[in-house]
Amino acid sequence: MARHGGRGWYGRVLAAAVGVTAVAAATSVWTAQAGQADDPRAEAGVSAPPSASAAADRAPAAVAVDIAHASDAGAHGVNITIDDGPDPVWTPQVLKVLEENGVKATFCMVGTQAQAHPDLVKAVVAAGHRLCDHTVSHDTTMDTKSEAYQSQQILDAERMITQASGGVRPLYYRAPGGAFTPYSRTLAASHGMRPLGWNVDTKDFEHPGAAAIVATVKNEVSNGPTILFHDAGGDRSQTVAALREVLPWLKQQGHSFGFPVR
């Protein structure tokens, strides 16, 4: 998995995260939907009633620790994954394209972004998409850091995303730039978040042009079903344009759309 370097936007995110996590690091609060992994409504992205106090006190079931790539939609399934948001400009546009094409996706959210835009997190959930923990500050070198640091990055982001969503927990964990460690995978899995990889990196963060993004998907989808796009970290107009073209193309090729296996 390639490291995504050169994105200065994350320096600002990290600066913001320092202030946030200084307060947050002392606790990792489970909120309204602690039983999500066991609740079929939660698997569909629908919140349980706030009065479900028994579920709120129950830890999520552990999942497999190996990095998921397969789709629950079967041999011809593909998984659309959207990283780094939510973003007030681009996330609504991505959601619109997905809705127009009847496609559900997995949104890998940065904790500080989720905390800043809870309305967008709720919109993602309401549309039937799934949530993924993408750490507090998108540190692509976190595999070189201490276990305490990795824990803070993963668990504080989980808390931020869960609170922003109104109680719906992330079902996956994607390490920034693929910077997984055995410890981070085990920690995430113990909290019900399956480590999530990718098979097709569209490199849309490099702004290669919509046509190049589409060509990457067409040329590399045979590598596996999980496709990586971004909805934050810069101008994502090329991503939006590429999704408009590539989603119908994938359907024409006989692909169905699913979620990563858990």
Active site residues: 83, 230
Q: Alpha-carbon torsion 86, 88, 94, 100, what sign? A: positive
**What is the rounded distance in angstroms from the CA atom of residue 209 to the CA atom of residue 231?**
15
The CA R_g of the chain, rounded to the nearest whole Å, is 17
